[in-house]
Amino acid sequence: MTPATVALEEVEVDYRGRGRALGPLSLRIGDGEIVALVGPSGCGKSTALRLLAGLEPATRGVVQRAPGRGETSVVFQAPTLAPWMSAAANVALPLELSGTPKPEARARALEALERVGLAGAGASRPAQLSGGMAMRASLARALVTQPRLLMLDEPFAALDEITRRTLADDVLALWSQTRPAIVFVTHNVEEAAYMAGRIVVLTRGPGRIAGEVRVEAPLPRPAGFRTWPVFTEAAEAISALLAKGAEVAP
């Protein structure tokens, strides 16, 4: 077992005075592991993600986090770029907030943009980028700090199918360079089976673990992986767990 990057033990999160949002949930994310959190709407996936990122406290239970400040990155559902800044300035922001001198931060931001296929787009404003390009810039902003833990909150939900698939491959290729642990939330079964080594299926809210599916195949995925039996079997197993999780009484 690889050392844990983040571990949740019997963690519960309550809405403020409105009952439980999540848990009890126990989950450990190993170093360099890619884990997908899948579950029905309102099961607390995004809450779990914020908990793992250290952005939200647990009401009960223990959260153990190895990454220090600046070693966790989050890619949100929307690109969430500041419209008044250039793409390069947006990408450099995490470095500058962590105290990196501006010239160095800008240089590393341009490198990060190049790695996500946006060489030359550094001076563009977010409004001048397409949806897919803006998402890539958001990914560059998350990768620029070389995080130990990368969180993705339904990052491709608003994109078309072709862009989604390209970006999924790009994320895996980028992962293979520095191998951060990745946790990503999705409600897309095929995306989960394609990108993750382990898929954790949550029940409907308050989310608990309905079951786990492992995908024993190389990462990044080889060409034509979507036709492999291991992929289709994993997708079916996830769907079955989702159906089971939906029956669980709250």
Partner 1 sequence: MSRLADALAPLGLMLLLLGAWEAACRLTGVPAYFLPPPSQVAVAAATGLPVLVSAAWNTLSVALVALALAAAGALLLAILVGLSPLLERAVRPLASALQVTPVVAVAPLILIWAGIDHPERAVIALAVLVAFFPIFSGAVTGLRSADPDLERLFDLYGAGRLERVMRLRLPAAVPFLMEGLKVGAGLAIIGAVVAEFAAGSGGVRGLAWQILDAGNKLQTDRMIAALVVLAVMGVAVHAGLERVERAGLRWWRGR
**Residues found near partner 1 in the complex (CB under 8 A):** 50, 53-55, 69-70, 72-74, 76-78, 80, 82-86, 93-94, 97-98, 124-128, 145
Find the shortest distance in angstroms from Cβ 11 to partner 1: 19
Find the shortest distance in angstroms from Cβ 201 to partner 1: 25
Contacts of 72 (CB under 8 A, 6+ apart): 53, 54, 65, 147, 148, 149, 150, 151
Q: How many residues does the chain have?
A: 250
Residue 163 · residue 191 · CB < 8 Å: no
Find the shortest distance in angstroms from Cβ 76 to partner 1: 4
Find the shortest distance in angstroms from Cβ 37 to partner 1: 18
Q: Which of 68, 55, 75, 74 is nearest to 13 (CA)?
A: 55
> Which is closer to partner 1, CB of 71 or CB of 169?
71
Q: Which amino acid is at 69?
A: R
Would you call 93 exposed, middle or buried from its count of C-beta atoms within 10 A (0-12, 13-18, 19+)?
middle
> Which is closer to partner 1, CB of 148 or CB of 208?
148
| CB-facing half-sphere around the CA of 78: CA atoms within 13 A | 5
> Which is closer to partner 1, CB of 52 or CB of 215?
52
Find the shortest distance in angstroms from Cβ 193 to partner 1: 27
> Which is closer to partner 1, CB of 63 or CB of 78?
78
If one counts every other C-beta atom within 10 angstroms of the C-beta of residue 64, the result is 11
Q: Compute the distance between CA of residue 116 and CA of residue 163 in angstroms, rounded to an integer.
A: 13
Residue 54 · residue 193 · CB < 8 Å: no
- H-helix or E-strand spanning residue 161: helix 161-178
> Which is closer to partner 1, CB of 2 or CB of 130?
130
> Which is closer to partner 1, CB of 138 or CB of 186?
138
Find the shortest distance in angstroms from Cβ 52 to partner 1: 12
